[in-house]
Every structure is written in C-alpha cells, then in structure tokens.
Amino acid sequence: MKGLLAVLVLGLAVLTGCGGSSSSGLIGNKGALAGNWQFTLTKTAAPRTVTLISGFLQQTGKAVTGSVQLTPPVFTPPCGGSFAVSGISDGQNVNLTVNEGGATVTLTGTGSATSMGGSYNLVASGCGKSETGTFTATLIKPLNGTLQGVLHSTSNPSGGLVGGDFAITGLIAQSDNIGSSSGLLIGTLSAVNYPCFSDVTLSGTITGSSVQLNIIGPSGAVVGRIGGLSTGGAVTARPDGSGFFYFGTSTAVGYVMDKSNACTRLL
C-alpha cells in the first residue's frame, strides 16, 4: 500500500479522575504493592541485556500475588505467556518469585507504594540461561478520566495531511485490578476535522506502561490501532496516571491511513 500515514499520538492527558480506581476497596488491593507494575531487569554480566516484565500485583497482609508477562510478549510455551507471582512484603522489604515455566526469577529488595528495587536471580530450566542482576520497578497508576491530545500526521504528502495536527478528546477507563498480567481499557475518542473518523470507541489493554488500543468505528469494525501487538512500550503510559503518549517512526505499528484517506487496519 502506497502513501501510508503514520499517526503519532502525543500527550493524551487525563484531566479528571487521575489515579482513581474502583478497585481500591477490594481485598488484595489495599496493600502497598497492589497495582500495575513495570519491572526492568538488568543483567550484571556482559552483555548487560535488559528484560522488561509487567503486570498486576495484589497484596493481602504481607502476602503478595499476581501475574506478569514479558514486554514485548513472547508466545512460545513454556517460555512465554502469563507468569504467576508470589511473595511477601512487610512495607519495606520485598521478596517476590516469578514462575516463568521454563525459568524461575527471584526478586529481592525494598519497595514502597510507587517503586521497588534490588537484585534478582534467574534460574533457567528450559528457557534462556541462568543469570543475576539488578531490578527496578515503577507503579503505573490507573488510566481513568478525560482525554485530550493530538493526532499528528508524519507522512502521506499526496493526501495533503503531512505535518497536520488534529485535536482529539475522549474518555478512558481502566478495569479493576484482579491480579492479571494485563488490565482492560475502554473509552471513546472524537477528532476535529480528521478525514478518517470523527467519533469512535476504544478497546484495549494495559500492562505495566505498555498500552494497546483498538479504534472501533460506528459499524463495530476495527478501523485502526494505537500501539502494536509486538511492540511492547510503543505506547507508553505515564506512571502518575495522567495519560499516555506514542512515538512512531514507521507504519509497522500504530494507526494508519492510505492515500485515499480511507481508514485501514494494520495487523
């Protein structure tokens, strides 16, 4: 397809309801570590590779449970999928174990309601190689509220849209924390003077800081996507829950249009 238009989503600020969550009163969501976390694991030995793990934790008393996944996701059992997390936290010290099927990762360190850090030990039993290193983790607050931002055209000169900015507004809501490796997102989006759509709905997921949203037209068909299935953090949520942003450099991911200004889905 010629003349594809890559759409760049910038600064979708959540203006109201920031950080709120209807799950705050549920058992398992009162502990300091309850919520959506983005983990970064850095191997000690060269090459100092970085592994990203993300998902939701619950805490009851000192007991911590939940599920995480590799970011970007891996779908090769037993080395991919959703991994169970278990452990304890006394409000300061944290000890978590991630059962990856083909590997076991132990995270030991300190933590608070918004961050964690320490060392990790990975024992491989079918996936990868055993290793040690350090880790950090950041809590990503829920995306709930009113959206405001811009769609920016980065190509398609034949359609006269290159460099164009289109104001967008909408609503977004995040599902309760049930200890899954991802949470559901739903919402609405309206664009001003955008030739591809004016009013659409949004449906997608969030895990850690990685956001993926389908753009659904009035007929119920998926007409575009913000984020990609294999791009990990291509669309990144701000840790404070104030919104998300997308920096795309190609038409391989994200929302696209063809030169006739017709919406098209890129899978």
Joined together, the tokens standing for residue 200 give 């659409």
**Strand boundaries in 176-233, DSSP class E:** 183-191, 199-207, 210-216, 222-226
What does DSSP assign to residue 157?
A: G
Concatenate the DSSP letters of all residues of 58-106 into one string.
Answer: EEETTEEEEEEEESS---STTSSSEEEEEEEE-SSEEEEEEE-SSEEEE
- The residues near 74 (Cβ < 8 Å, ≥ 6 apart) are 80, 81
Instruction: Please compute, for residue 264, the number of CA atoms within 13 A of its CA located in the half-sphere on the CB side.
Output: 17
Nearest to 209 by CA among 19, 74, 75, 54: 54
Joined together, the tokens standing for residue 248 give 């795309």
Predicted local confidence at residue 264, as pLDDT: 39
Beta-bridge mates of residue 148: 13, 169
Predicted local confidence at residue 79, as pLDDT: 77
How far, in Å, are 60, 65, 219, 222 from residue 30 at the CA level? 7, 13, 40, 37
Q: Report whether 230 contacts 69 (CB < 8 A).
A: no
Could you list the pLDDT tens digit for every one of the 267 residues in the chain? 222 333 434 444 444 433 333 344 444 566 789 999 999 999 999 988 899 999 999 999 999 999 999 876 666 666 778 899 999 999 899 999 999 878 899 999 999 999 999 999 999 988 888 999 999 999 999 988 887 777 766 555 445 555 667 788 888 899 999 999 999 999 998 888 877 778 999 999 999 988 888 888 888 887 777 765 444 445 677 787 777 665 443 333 333 333 333 443 332
Peptide bond into 72 cis (omega under 30): yes
Backbone phi and psi for residue 158, each to the nearest 5 degrees, phi listed first:
-65, -25
Q: Is this model's pTM higher than 0.75 or not? A: yes
The widest CA-to-CA distance across the chain, in whole angstroms, is 60
- The residues near 129 (Cβ < 8 Å, ≥ 6 apart) are none
